[in-house]
């Protein structure tokens, strides 16, 4: 059946009336993304939805301690996912923590994709001196270990104040600082990938054909090259979101991510480093969330690449 | 939007008072060289010709003879490691050394190019209609609706059935011949005065080659557009062009009106090209007349006649001196040979070589003037 459909759809004999009458949507039938990808999308959608709706959900305060039930285990009445050593509800904390973690990972990758993608596109398309300068810039940044660079940037941009209870303004400021720091770290990564892809697409004949029709460089870059580079960029960006989810945890270990008492998935794990055994749910729950989300993002990254990779040889 | 308008305006004004008399394209002693690690590659080495409005010229030669580089030199579509000499005049404008920015007003509206492989020359992620409308919309400040109508008319005129539906399809959904038709429609979109067709049928199925060539010819006539048809196949240009220039090692070795070239072939290379076309009259399994050897290294071209090493007529003089491009017997039929085919000098040269068993360059010769194929090429 697969062969049969391949024959009728991939090579639409232009003068063959049977091929012309084929319903449009069937042409794309064989490009379905699969059940696993939908599970991944569903999971991420759920996490994002819950994070957005956190203030409306009937959950306990993430920062107020319940001193009657500290370190409650799983399925304790009132604390379905347990509570930490101050008696704060783990369910509530992972939901509110998702806001911070997702904002940081999506925000920083959006920043990195925008800036890195643009620089990479320009470097790959223009070549020559522009490329040399931009590539040198990328390489210098890549030479630093990501974590060290992110740590340095966060510390420089906003030193941690030990003032205790954080206001919501301070929370937003912290998020912005972490987004900026991690975003800067991701610029060269996305820049390099985009540059490599842009180089190969810029040398294609259709780019010359567009120039030969009188298109300006800017037009050729954004209309001809960029759409072809997008799949590679998106796929790496999705992986990047996953990497940043983990990186946020690492930053939390060094105490420069979201500050207590506000939760993020990273600092929830870190906060229980001293009593891993007595209240395991506090670090297991966010760890599992990070793990599943990273898995989903990784898989979706691959799917995006396979789905949008329009190669003439494959068609 | 306003930026685009400003960019287009000087271009249009510039051509509003373009002279309608005089040749469309005059190129003189054009040399195109590429700087490579091996040295300077003399890809085009002193080519001159004139093309009148509405006329066609075929440029013929084997791979690597500089025919594609020549058409791209005229278009100004060259990589950055190029060194250019000579003069190219388009409607009197000197564009021999124009930069990309200076050439932009010419591209699309004045001259356009159809590439060999439409699959790679079309953007795989853009719908056919958008690719067609693209240049219309940035050259002429037209509305989307107008551009769409024009695109539809163009697609219909290049013989695409169900044009309206095709507008919304992607290149991969079309067959090879259809793609080349789309490519031609894109090139014609802004009404160029000069069309380059760079091996337009090489990547196509034999059965659609003739259709595409007919289409090009028909469009060229209807639009009174000049055309440069680049090909390695003499059969493609036969009967379709006004003039033919045969190129070898970056130079024109014979240039003549099409009929004259076929009837009074003068250059041994042209003769060899004609002989290498398989004939229907030949019995099956007869050996093809290939041209022995390979084209010379364009980094260090030989001193004398570039074809001498492969020429059955070659004499000592051919190794030391380069023959000039002249038309001694038929006006307008120029060639570069001391011992041309169909002349007494040529016949004598061949007789001498046959008697010696080899040419002055040491190429073995067989009795009927054909080259003996030696070694593994048989």
Q: How confident is the model at residue B367 (pLDDT cuts 50, 70, 90)?
A: low
B77 and B50 in a common domain: yes
Give the DSSP per-residue string, A21-32. Answer: TS-GGGGGGGG-
A234-240 average pLDDT score: 90
Q: Quick one: B331 and B305 in the same domain?
A: yes
- Mutate which of B154, B172, B192, B198 to test chain A, going by most A C-beta atoms within 10 A? B172
Cα separation, B259 vs B241, in Å, equals: 9
- Based on the domain organization, do B103 and B162 belong to the same domain? yes
pLDDT at A10: 42
CA atoms of B171 and B325, how far apart (whole Å): 44
Nearest to A213 among B105, B108, B126 (CB): B108
Task: Check pLDDT > 50 for residue A13.
Answer: no
Domain stop point among B216, B248, B280: B248
Chain centre to alpha carbon of residue A153: 20
pLDDT greater at residue B326 or residue B374: B326
Mean predicted confidence (pLDDT) in B192-217: 88
**A213 with B190: Cβ contact below 8 A:** yes
Range of the domain at B369: 265-377
Is residue B169 in some structural domain?
yes
> Is pLDDT of B372 > 80?
no
pLDDT value at B62 more than 90? no
Residue with tokens 């937003």: A172
Considering only CB atoms, which residues of chain B are within 8 Å of chain A? 7, 75, 77, 80, 100, 104-109, 112-113, 115, 117, 119-126, 134-135, 138-139, 160-162, 165, 170-175, 177-178, 183, 186-187, 189-190
**Where does the pLDDT of residue A280 fall: very low under 50, low under 70, confident under 90, or very high at 90 and above?**
confident
How many C-beta neighbours within 10 Å does residue A149 have?
18
Whether B165 and B294 share a structural domain: no
Task: Give yes or no for residue B73 having a pLDDT over 60.
Answer: yes
Interface test with B, best of A212, A220, A233, A315 (most B CBs within 10 A): A212
pLDDT band at B16 (very low <50, low <70, confident <90, very high): low
CA distance A104 to A175: 6
Q: Min CA distance, B21 vs chain A (Å)?
A: 25
Closest Cα in chain A to B198: A209
Q: Do A11 and B161 touch (CB under 8 A)?
A: no
Q: Which residues of B touch A216 (CB under 8 A)?
A: 7, 104, 138
- Write phi, then psi, for B33 (nearest 5 degrees): -125, 150
Q: Searching chain A, which residue's CA lies closest to the CA of residue B101?
A: A216
The verdict on B327 and B222 lying in the same domain is no
pLDDT at B120: 86
In this complex, which of B104, B126, B170 lies closest to A214 when CB atoms are compared? B104
Element (H, E) at B82: strand B82-90
Indicate if B142 and B115 belong to the same structural domain: yes
Distances, alpha carbon A30 to alpha carbons A34, A144, A177, A301, A305, in Å:
10, 43, 44, 19, 15
Domain boundary residue, one of B220, B248, B276: B248
Tell me if residue B133 falls in helix, strand or coil: helix
Q: Is the pLDDT of residue A67 over 90?
A: no
CA nearest A209 in B: which residue? B121
Q: CA of B368, closest CA in chain A: separation in Å? A: 45
Q: Can you tell me the distance from the alpha carbon of B125 to that of B172, in angstroms, rounded to the nearest whole number?
A: 9
Residues of A in contact with B185 (CB under 8 A): none
Any idea where the domains of chain A sit in the sequence? Answer: 32-314
User: Is B135 in contact with A128 (Cβ distance < 8 A)?
Assistant: no
Residue B278 in this model has a pLDDT that exceeds 50: yes
Work out the percent of chain B whose per-residue pLDDT is above 90: 38
Q: Considering only residues A314 and A150, tell me which one the structure prediction assigns the higher pLDDT.
A: A150
Q: Do B290 and B177 fall into the same domain?
A: no
CA distance B134 to chain A (A): 8
Block residue for tokens 């300068």 = A133
Q: For chain A, what is the mean pLDDT?
A: 81
- B260 domain residue, yes or no: no
Q: Give the tens place of pLDDT for each residue, A22-34.
A: 444 444 445 667 8
The ipTM, to two decimals, is 0.79
Looking up residue B107, the CATH number of its domain turns out to be 3.40.50.300
Interchain pair B75, A312: CB under 8 A: no
Query: Which residues on B lie below 8 Å from A227 (Cβ)?
Result: 123, 125-126
Q: Which of B107, B123, B211, B228 to mutate against chain A (most A CBs within 10 Å)?
A: B123
B135 and A214 within 8 Å at the Cβ level: the answer is: yes
Q: Which residue in A35, A28, A100 sits closest to A290, CA to CA?
A: A100
Q: Where does the pLDDT of residue A168 fall: very low under 50, low under 70, confident under 90, or very high at 90 and above?
A: low
User: Who's near A156: CB < 8 A, 6+ residues apart?
Assistant: none
Residues B283 and B230 in one domain: no
**pLDDT in the model for residue B203:** 80
Calculate mean pLDDT across residues A294-314. 75
Q: Considering only CB atoms, which residues of chain A are within 8 Å of chain B? A: 11-15, 20, 27, 128, 204-206, 208-217, 219, 223-224, 227-228, 310-312, 315
- Contact in structure between B289 and B332 (CB atoms under 8 Å): no
Rounded to two decimals, what is the model's pTM?
0.78
Assigned domain for B41 exists: yes
Q: How close is the nearest chain A Cα to the Cα of B23, in Å?
A: 22
The answer to whether residue A11 scores a pLDDT higher than 80 is no
**Contacts of residue A228 in chain B, CB cutoff 8 Å?**
123-125
Query: Could you tell me if B301 and B238 lie in one domain?
Result: no
Q: Do A312 and B109 touch (CB under 8 A)?
A: no
Using the beta-carbon criterion (under 8 Å), do A204 and B120 form an inter-chain contact?
Answer: yes
pLDDT higher than threshold 90 for residue B245 = yes
Which residues, in sequence order, are bridge partners of residue B333? none
Question: Are B133 and B231 within one domain?
Answer: yes
Q: A212 and B75 in contact by Cβ < 8 A?
A: yes
Distance to chain A for B101, nearest Cα, Å? 8
Q: Do B289 and B360 lie in a common domain?
A: yes
Domain count, chain B: 2
Tell me which chain A residues have a C-beta less than 8 angstroms from the C-beta of B197.
none
- pLDDT for the residue A70: 74
Residue B39 lies in a domain: yes
Last residue of a domain, one of B222, B248, B274: B248
Which carries the bigger pLDDT value, residue A271 or residue A120?
A120
Residue A52 to chain B, least CA–CA distance (Å): 34
The whole-number average pLDDT for the span B254-280 is 89
| Sequence-separated (6 or more) residues with CB below 8 Å from residue A52 | A99
> Are B28 and B108 contained in the same domain?
yes
Record: fold of A32-314: MetI-like fold (1.10.3720)
Q: Partners of B33 in the beta sheet? A: B42, B83
Q: What is the mean pLDDT of residues B165-190?
A: 90
Choose among A20, A212, A312: nearest Cβ to B107: A212
């Amino acid at each position: 059946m697969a062969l049969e459909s391949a024959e009728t759809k991939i090579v639409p004999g232009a003068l063959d009336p049977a091929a012309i009458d084929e319903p449009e949507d069937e042409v794309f039938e064989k490009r379905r993304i699969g059940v696993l990808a939908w599970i991944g999308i569903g999971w991420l959608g759920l996490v994002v939805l819950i994070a957005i709706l956190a203030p409306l959900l009937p959950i306990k305060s993430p920062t107020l301690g319940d001193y009657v039930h500290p370190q409650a285990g799983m399925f304790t009445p009132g604390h379905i996912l347990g509570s930490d050593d101050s008696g704060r509800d783990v369910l509530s904390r992972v939901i509110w923590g998702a806001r911070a973690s997702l904002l940081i990972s999506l925000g920083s990758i959006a920043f990195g994709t925008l800036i890195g993608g643009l620089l990479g596109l320009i470097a790959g398309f223009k070549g020559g001196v522009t490329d040399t300068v931009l590539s040198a810039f990328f390489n210098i940044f890549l030479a630093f270990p990501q974590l060290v660079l992110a740590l340095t940037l966060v510390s420089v941009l906003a030193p941690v104040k030990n003032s205790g209870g954080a206001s919501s303004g301070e929370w937003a400021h912290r998020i912005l600082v972490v987004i900026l720091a991690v975003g800067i770290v991701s610029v060269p990564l996305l820049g390099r990938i985009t540059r490599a892809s842009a180089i190969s697409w810029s040398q294609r004949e259709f780019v010359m054909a567009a120039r030969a029709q009188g298109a300006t460089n800017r037009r050729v870059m954004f209309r001809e090259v960029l759409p072809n580079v997008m799949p590679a960029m998106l796929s790496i960006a999705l992986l990047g979101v996953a990497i940043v989810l983990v990186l946020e945890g690492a930053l939390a270990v060094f105490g420069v991510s979201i500050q207590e008492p506000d939760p993020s998935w990273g600092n929830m794990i870190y906060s229980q480093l001293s009593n891993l055994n007595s209240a395991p749910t506090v670090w297991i729950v966010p760890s599992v969330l990070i793990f599943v989300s990273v898995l989903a993002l990784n898989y979706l990254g691959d799917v995006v690449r396979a789905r949008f990779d329009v190669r003439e040889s494959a068609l | 939007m306003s930026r685009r308008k400003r960019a287009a305006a000087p271009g249009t004004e510039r051509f509003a008072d373009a002279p309608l008399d005089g040749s469309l394209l005059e190129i003189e002693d054009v040399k195109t060289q590429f700087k490579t690690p091996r040295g300077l590659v003399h890809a085009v080495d002193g080519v001159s010709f004139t093309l009148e409005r509405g006329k066609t010229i075929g440029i013929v030669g084997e791979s690597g003879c500089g025919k594609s580089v020549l058409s791209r030199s005229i278009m100004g579509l060259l990589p950055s490691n190029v060194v250019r000499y000579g003069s190219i005049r388009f409607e009197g404008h000197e564009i021999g050394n124009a930069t990309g920015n200076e050439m932009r007003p010419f591209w699309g509206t004045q001259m356009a190019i159809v590439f060999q492989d439409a699959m790679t020359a079309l953007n795989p992620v853009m719908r056919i209609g958008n690719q067609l409308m693209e240049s219309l919309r940035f050259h002429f400040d037209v509305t989307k609706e107008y551009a769409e109508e024009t695109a539809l008319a163009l697609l219909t005129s290049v013989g695409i059935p169900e044009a309206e539906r095709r507008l919304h399809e992607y290149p991969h959904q079309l067959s090879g011949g259809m793609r080349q038709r789309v490519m031609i429609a894109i090139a014609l979109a802004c009404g160029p005065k000069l069309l380059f067709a760079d091996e337009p049928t090489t990547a196509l199925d034999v059965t659609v080659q003739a259709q595409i060539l007919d289409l090009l010819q028909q469009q060229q006539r209807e639009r009174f557009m000049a055309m440069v048809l680049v090909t390695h196949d003499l059969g493609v240009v036969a009967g379709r062009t006004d003039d033919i220039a045969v190129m070898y090692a970056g130079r024109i070795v014979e240039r003549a009106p099409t009929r004259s070239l076929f009837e009074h072939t003068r250059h041994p290379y042209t003769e060899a090209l004609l002989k290498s076309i398989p004939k229907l009259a030949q019995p099956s399994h007869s050996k093809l007349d290939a041209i022995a050897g390979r084209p010379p290294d364009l980094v260090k071209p030989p001193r004398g006649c570039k074809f001498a090493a492969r020429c059955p007529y070659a004499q000592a003089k051919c190794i030391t001196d380069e023959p000039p491009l002249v038309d001694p017997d038929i006006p307008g039929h120029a060639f570069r040979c001391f011992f041309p085919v169909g002349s007494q000098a040529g016949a004598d040269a061949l007789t001498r070589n046959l008697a010696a068993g080899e040419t002055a360059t040491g190429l073995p010769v067989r009795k009927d003037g054909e080259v003996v194929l030696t070694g593994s090429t048989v």
